[in-house]
Amino acid sequence: FMDDNARPHRSRAVNDFMRTSVITTLPWPAMSPDLNTIEHIWDFIGRRAREPPVQTLRQLEAALHQEWRQLT
């Protein structure tokens, strides 16, 4: 399991769950998008303007599929 030490990943409830479930985590620098490929893809998709803008969850899903297919 990988987490980036973000506050939601460091809550007492999460730490207790990880410890009692014997889940091993990998060390991962906080705020390190360079090491996480998907962050670059989300950034690329997020910078593309869509006209008209997405209005519904269904449109968002369709737009993401379309953008994903266009990645080279």
pLDDT band at 10 (very low <50, low <70, confident <90, very high): confident
**Shortest CA distance to 67 belongs to which of 37, 43, 35, 33?**
43
28 in Cβ contact with 5 (< 8 Å): yes
Higher pLDDT residue, 38 or 14?
Answer: 14
> Model pTM?
0.45
**Shortest CA distance to 63 belongs to which of 52, 72, 40?**
52
**pLDDT, tens digit, 9 for 90 and up, residues 17-72:** 888 998 877 777 666 656 667 777 778 777 887 788 889 999 989 988 988 898 87
